[in-house]
């Protein structure tokens, strides 16, 4: 009698397969929804039955079974058996990988991550003709189940006939029972933790009315008792959709706007196997009114919703694979107010490194922390790109995509900071007028101004300050700011009492800042497009200083010091390039005169 020596004994391997990396039940459910969408479903119902159990002499309701019903094309007997096999399926051939499906692991792998028994009913000519098969881990462990059972005709479950809103002429029903690994024991908890994720994964299908997803729970002993019943709304991390799960006042209108004008959505060509495929990048930024409703907009319901969606959304075939949070900083409150979406076709799965459970793209995501293109071994971008080129490694294109995303995120952060500071800084300076707070920067500058004016005489701008009525000066200053493109929310805080007015905007110039005397005040515009703004000004922002650890604060101070050195070195180099004579003498005079002014201002601070 011969003894079988299987390479991987099924009853042992299947136990290890249960630890297959699904983050939670919502991701496991998503695999079943993928199969349904691949089969052409337009309607999905996730149904839970709850039964009463005793825990420590207390009664409690607990999920008994989970049902996933679709109205897709259904399966024949051969396909049904394949669908319950690990590593098999109808989309393994590259020619068939045009949709969501791919690896043939979805149904059995996701199911056993949550339960020990999965049953499948499927039909193509009415549910009365449904065929049935199953997979039971206890039977596999006991070696009483050695292969997927031959599908048989079996009556459709009565509990679903009574609860389903509609059963299509074709479709599939998957049932999970013996839920030994389901983290969330009650249907309300399962749905609460699933609706945000599932609504986000399938947002494009739901938004385009190609798909509806119903979440229903009922009492197993009293089926007429409905515990939960709702249809999912799309959850859009780009916040451009209407009628979404975002709280009021942004449920029925977009909370973000497209960023970059024509560059909002553009394609980058990635070459793979001698063909070019488009990878689409999209960027959004929150509208100003989403952040001006409160001094702490992040604490409002829509702000908390945005915080859950912070990250880069990685899309494949219209379905989100991952919301990659490694592109965000936990200490930066701005990261909830931008959106980035990268959309790649199925043909580039190998290039991006798509995982078999469709929860990550390892080759791309690792680049999020790949600052300045240097790895731990110190290789530069040029060296890495040369190596990838040498070995014809298509991942080289991902470096440029990642750089593009990182560059745009940095710019959006600067824009968000500038917009916020426009309102906050002017309001703060108005509140801290020297009459009320002589130690404010505005108060210090006002005292220094008076002393310098007494010594050197008034400028034309000083004369206007004394001769024009305050009301008229305020009107002139506000109109000038509006003509320059400032928003009304910023301008309404401005008064002629302010000797210096700071504003923040992108400027098409190499200047770090500009100066414009007007009606007795001086408008100082910081160029948010200039590297010095990010390295010197922005890192001293006080909004998030209290939340930073000591090491982060020290790092910010060190960066500020280094940035100041760079500015001084840049001036020194500028002087060095000037020809000997009047130009160089004039520059040195400017530097000394500016130094004298600064000295007087700082003396007032002491």
pLDDT per residue as tens digits for the range 393-419: 666 788 888 888 988 998 898 888 877
Q: What pLDDT is attached to residue 308?
A: 94
The C-alpha atoms of residue 275 and residue 534 are separated, in whole angstroms, by: 39
Q: What is the pTM of this model?
A: 0.71
Q: Is the pLDDT of residue 100 over 70?
A: no
Is position 244 within any domain? no
Instruction: Please indicate, yes or no, whether residues 382 and 261 belong to a single structural domain of this protein.
Output: yes
Is position 419 within any domain? no
The count of domains in the chain is: 3
pLDDT-wise least confident of 256-260, 445-449, 544-548: 544-548
Instruction: Please indicate, yes or no, whether residues 43 and 95 belong to a single structural domain of this protein.
Output: yes
Q: Is the pLDDT of residue 229 over 90?
A: yes
Instruction: Please indicate, yes or no, whether residues 442 and 579 belong to a single structural domain of this protein.
Output: yes
The C-alpha atoms of residue 381 and residue 396 are separated, in whole angstroms, by: 10
Instruction: Please indicate, yes or no, whether residues 213 and 290 belong to a single structural domain of this protein.
Output: no
Is position 426 within any domain? no
Higher pLDDT: 557 or 166? It is 166
Q: What pLDDT is attached to residue 531?
A: 79
Is position 5 within any domain? no
Instruction: Please indicate, yes or no, whether residues 172 and 278 belong to a single structural domain of this protein.
Output: no
Last residue of a domain, one of 371, 394, 409: 409
The C-alpha atoms of residue 309 and residue 196 are separated, in whole angstroms, by: 9
Helix and strand numbers, DSSP H then E, in the chain: 21, 17
Is position 246 within any domain? no
**Interval 480-494 mean pLDDT:** 80
Last residue of a domain, one of 409, 441, 464: 409
Name the DSSP class of 345: -
Q: Is the pLDDT of residue 231 over 80?
A: yes
Instruction: Please indicate, yes or no, whether residues 454 and 530 belong to a single structural domain of this protein.
Output: yes
Last residue of a domain, one of 339, 374, 409: 409
Q: Please give the full DSSP string across 14-78, using - where no structure is assigned.
A: HHHHT-S---SHHHHHHHHHHHHHHTT-SEEEEEEEEEEEEETTEEEEEEEEEEEEE-S----HH
Q: What's the CATH number where 24 sits?
A: 3.30.565.10
Q: Please give the full DSSP string across 471-513, using - where no structure is assigned.
A: HHHHHHHHHHHHHTT--HHHHTT--TT-SEEEEEE--SSS-SE
Strands (E), 71-206: 117-123, 131-136, 152-153, 171-177
Sign of CA dihedral 338, 342, 359, 73: positive
What is the residue range of 275's domain?
A: 256-409
CA nearest 165: which of 96, 227, 229, 75? 229
CA nearest 26: which of 155, 165, 183, 237? 183
Residue 343 vs residues 161, 279, 319, 442: alpha-carbon distances, Å: 39, 6, 9, 48
> Collapsing DSSP states into helix, strand and coil, what is residue 346?
helix
Is position 564 within any domain? yes
Instruction: Please indicate, yes or no, whether residues 450 and 561 belong to a single structural domain of this protein.
Output: yes
The C-alpha atoms of residue 283 and residue 329 are separated, in whole angstroms, by: 18
Instruction: Please indicate, yes or no, whether residues 301 and 396 belong to a single structural domain of this protein.
Output: yes
**Model pLDDT for residues 571-605, shown as the tens digit of each residue:** 888 888 788 888 888 888 888 888 888 887 877 66
Instruction: Please indicate, yes or no, whether residues 443 and 584 belong to a single structural domain of this protein.
Output: yes
Is position 476 within any domain? yes
Residue 31 vs residues 326, 448, 479: alpha-carbon distances, Å: 24, 68, 58
Which positions ≥6 away from 43 have C-beta within 8 Å? 70, 71, 165, 166, 168, 211, 212, 214
The C-alpha atoms of residue 459 and residue 456 are separated, in whole angstroms, by: 9
Q: What pLDDT is attached to residue 13?
A: 67
**Interval 258-266 mean pLDDT:** 77
Which positions ≥6 away from 441 have C-beta within 8 Å? 429, 500
The C-alpha atoms of residue 110 and residue 360 are separated, in whole angstroms, by: 15
Q: For the chain, what percent of residues have pLDDT higher than 70?
A: 81
Instruction: Please indicate, yes or no, whether residues 142 and 288 belong to a single structural domain of this protein.
Output: no
Is position 1 within any domain? no
Instruction: Please indicate, yes or no, whether residues 455 and 600 belong to a single structural domain of this protein.
Output: yes
Confidence label for 389 from pLDDT (cuts 50, 70 and 90): low
Residues 414-423: b if buried by 16+ CB within 10 A, e if exposed: bbbbbbbbbb
Instruction: Please indicate, yes or no, whether residues 76 and 223 belong to a single structural domain of this protein.
Output: yes
**Model pLDDT for residues 197-218, shown as the tens digit of each residue:** 999 999 999 999 889 999 999 9
How many CB atoms are closer than 10 A to CB 21? 12
- What is the β-pairing status of strands 513-518 and 521-527? antiparallel
């Amino acid at each position: 009698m011969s003894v079988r020596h299987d390479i991987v004994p099924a009853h042992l391997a299947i136990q290890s397969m249960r630890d297959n990396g699904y983050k939670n039940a919502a991701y496991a459910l998503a695999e079943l929804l993928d199969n349904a969408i691949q089969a052409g479903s337009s309607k999905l119902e996730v149904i839970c039955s709850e039964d009463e159990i005793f825990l420590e002499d207390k009664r409690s309701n607990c999920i008994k079974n989970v049902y996933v019903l679709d109205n897709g094309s259904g399966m024949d007997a051969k396909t049904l058996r394949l669908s319950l096999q690990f590593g098999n399926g109808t989309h393994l051939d590259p020619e068939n990988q045009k949709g969501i499906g791919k690896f043939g692991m979805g149904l059995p792998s996701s199911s056993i991550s949550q339960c020990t028994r999965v049953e499948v009913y499927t039909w193509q000519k009415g549910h009365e003709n449904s065929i049935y098969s199953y997979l039971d881990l206890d039977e596999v462990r006991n070696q009483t189940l050695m292969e997927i059972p031959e599908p048989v005709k079996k009556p459709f479950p009565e509990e679903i006939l009574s609860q389903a809103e509609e059963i299509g002429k074709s479709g599939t029903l998957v049932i999970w029972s013996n839920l030994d690994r389901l983290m969330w024991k009650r249907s309300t908890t399962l749905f609460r933790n699933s609706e945000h994720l599932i609504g986000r994964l399938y947002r494009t299908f739901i938004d385009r009315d190609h798909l509806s997803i119903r979440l229903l729970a009922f009492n197993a002993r009293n089926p007429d008792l409905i515990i939960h019943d709702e249809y999912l709304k799309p959850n859009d991390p780009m916040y451009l959709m209407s009628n979404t799960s975002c709280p009021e006042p942004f449920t029925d209108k977009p909370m973000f706007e497209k960023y970059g004008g024509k560059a909002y959505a553009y394609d980058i060509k990635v070459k793979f196997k001698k063909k070019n495929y488009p990878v689409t990048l999209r960027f959004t930024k929150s509208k100003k009114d989403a952040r001006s409703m409160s001094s702490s907009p992040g604490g409002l319901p829509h702000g908390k919703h945005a915080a859950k969606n912070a990250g880069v959304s990685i899309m494949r075939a219209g379905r989100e694979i991952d919301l990659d949070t490694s592109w965000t900083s936990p200490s930066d409150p701005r990261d909830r107010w931008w959106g980035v979406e990268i959309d790649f076709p199925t043909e580039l799965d190998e290039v991006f490194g798509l995982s078999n459970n469709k929860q990550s793209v390892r080759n791309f995501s690792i680049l999020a922390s790949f600052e300045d293109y240097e790895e731990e071994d110190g290789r530069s971008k040029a060296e890495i790109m040369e190596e990838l080129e040498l070995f014809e490694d298509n991942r080289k294109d991902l470096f440029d995509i990642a750089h593009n995303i990182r560059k745009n995120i940095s710019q959006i952060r600067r824009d968000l900071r500038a917009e916020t500071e426009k309102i906050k800084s002017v309001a703060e300076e108005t509140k801290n007028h020297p009459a009320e707070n002589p130690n404010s920067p505005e108060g210090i500058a006002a005292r220094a101004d008076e002393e310098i004016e007494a010594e050197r005489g008034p400028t034309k701008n000083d004369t206007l300050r004394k001769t024009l009525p305050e009301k008229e000066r305020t009107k002139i200053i506000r109109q000038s700011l509006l003509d320059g493109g400032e928003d009304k929310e910023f301008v309404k805080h401005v008064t002629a009492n302010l000797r210096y007015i700071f504003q923040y905007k992108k400027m098409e110039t190499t200047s770090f800042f500009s100066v414009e005397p007007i009606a007795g005040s001086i408008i100082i515009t910081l160029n948010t497009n200039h590297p010095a703004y990010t390295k010197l000004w922005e890192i001293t922002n006080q909004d998030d200083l209290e939340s930073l650890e000591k090491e982060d604060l020290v790092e910010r101070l060190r960066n500020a010091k280094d940035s100041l050195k760079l500015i001084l070195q840049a001036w020194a180099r500028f002087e060095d390039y000037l020809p000997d004579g009047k130009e160089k003498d004039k520059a040195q005079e400017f530097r000394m005169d500016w130094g004298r002014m600064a000295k007087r201002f700082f003396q007032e601070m002491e």
